[in-house]
Structures are given as structure tokens and as C-alpha cells.
Amino acid sequence: MTETNAALLAGLPPNVQALLARPPLDDTRLLAEAAAGFPGRPDDFGSALAENRDQEGRFPAWPVTLIRDLGRAGQAAEVVTLSEALAVVDPARHGRFAGEAAVALAEAGLAGDARAKIDEIVERWPDDVRARMLAGDALAMLGDAEAALAQFQAVLPLAQQARDFKAIRDLSTRVFRLTHPGAGETVLRRQHRSRPTRSQRKGRR
């Protein structure tokens, strides 16, 4: 534990201190309680979780990953609780956390809950490229390819305007996969046919 880490934890309840001192987490309620101690302070939250100085001041990835893990475990209430708790810490990424929740709920097979979260994203964060991309991913998981495609195509111009090249690439890939569903398999078959067999390789020696 770093000095910065210890100082930030000092003002939190003992049970929360213990929780943050031993990631990864297995108690969403306590993590949400911990997040409440860092409203609008993502850098401090990152420092509180840091295991070394190199990690200080950076929002950790594992609480966000935990949202997906909870979805795979079918824990819908915990998905929402954690995504909202992280939004308290980093309000600027509220839409993205909501997007992660939408994907997690879709993975859990909770179509109604997932669609409600998707509707919230579109209404509250229509210009958040990452949030809308995640909403599209959730729709694709639910089997609604047409709606997923609409999400990706709606925000692609925003990514282009912002010159967000990673988002442009990710969105373009998603659009291509939805509009050319057999393309990936075709490429794999071509690669397989173009690869020489063992006997052919031996004959070339």
C-alpha cells in the first residue's frame, strides 16, 4: 500500500478500507459504499485502489470489468448498483458505465432491463460515442441486429467529427460485421484453402 493510498483510505469506514485493500472485489455493496466516499474524484479513487505508485491517480479497470462479470453471473441488481456507484466517482463517464451495464444485462439474458438501460443511454447521452457503441453491442447480443446497426451508424459521424480514430475503427468493424454476416467465415475459408497442406510443404523441400 502506498502512502497516498493509506492517506485516502484513512477517512473511510474500516470495512470499506479492508475491501479496497484487497482487490479484486467480491462484494458489490461494499464497493458502492467505497465509491460514495470519492464523489467526483476518480483520480483519488484510483489512488486508493493502487497497489503501487505507478497505478496512483488512474481509474482502475477492474471495477468496470466487474460489471460484466456480474452480468454473466445473472446479478442484475448488482450490475446497476455498481455502474451507478462508479458514475458517482466519475460523472464524466456516466454514459459509458451505463453502457457497460446494458451489455452486462444483455449477457444475463435480461432483455427488458437491458433495453431500458439502452433507452436511457440514447435519451441522456446521445452524443457519447462509447456509450452508444456499447448500447449497440447490447442490442446485438439481444439478437436485434437492425437496432444495433442503427446505433453504430448514428454515432459513426460523431466519431469522425471528433477524429476519434479508435472509435471509427471499432464502429466500422461492427457495421461491416452486421452488414456482411458471412464475411468473417469467408475470409477464414479462403485463408484455410490458401494454406499449403503438410504433403505440399514436404514436396517443396
**139 HSE (CA, 13 A, CB side):** 22
User: The C-alpha cell of 18 is what?
Assistant: 479492508
How many other CB atoms are there within 10 angstroms of residue 170's CB atom? 18
For residues 142 and 101, the answer to whether their CB atoms sit within 8 Å is: no
Q: Which element (helix H / strand E) includes 62?
A: helix 62-72
SS3 assignment for 110-173: CHHHHHHHHHHHHHHCCCCHHHHHHHHHHHHHCCCHHHHHHHHHHHHHHHHHHCCHHHHHHHHH
Q: How far is CA 94 from CA 23, 90, 135, in A?
A: 22, 7, 13
pLDDT value of position 55: 58
- Of 40, 41, 15, which Cα lies nearest the Cα of 30? 15
pLDDT value of position 188: 37
Burial 177-196 (b: 16+ CB within 10 A, else e): bbeeeeeeeeeeeeeeeeee
pTM of the full structure: 0.75
Residue given cell 445473472 in the structure block: 74
Average pLDDT over residues 183-198: 50
Average pLDDT over residues 62-73: 88
SS3 assignment for 93-104: HHHHHHHHHHHH
| Average pLDDT of the chain, as a whole number | 81
| Least confident interval from 76-80, 124-128, 175-179, 180-184 | 180-184
Average pLDDT over residues 55-80: 84
Higher-pLDDT residue of 153 and 192 is 153
| Domains in the chain, CATH or no CATH each | 61-153 (1.25.40)
User: The C-alpha cell of 45 is what?
Assistant: 479513487
How many other CB atoms are there within 10 angstroms of residue 202's CB atom? 9
pLDDT value of position 4: 45
Q: How far is CA 24 from CA 36, 38, 60, in A?
A: 18, 19, 11
Higher-pLDDT residue of 193 and 156 is 156
Higher-pLDDT residue of 201 and 120 is 120
pLDDT value of position 195: 52
124-173 pLDDT, tens digit each: 999 999 999 999 999 999 999 999 999 999 999 999 999 999 999 999 99
Average pLDDT over residues 25-32: 71
Q: Is residue 174 pLDDT above 50, yes or no? A: yes
Burial 84-117 (b: 16+ CB within 10 A, else e): ebbbbbbeebbbbbbbbbbbbbbbbebbebbbeb
pLDDT value of position 204: 52
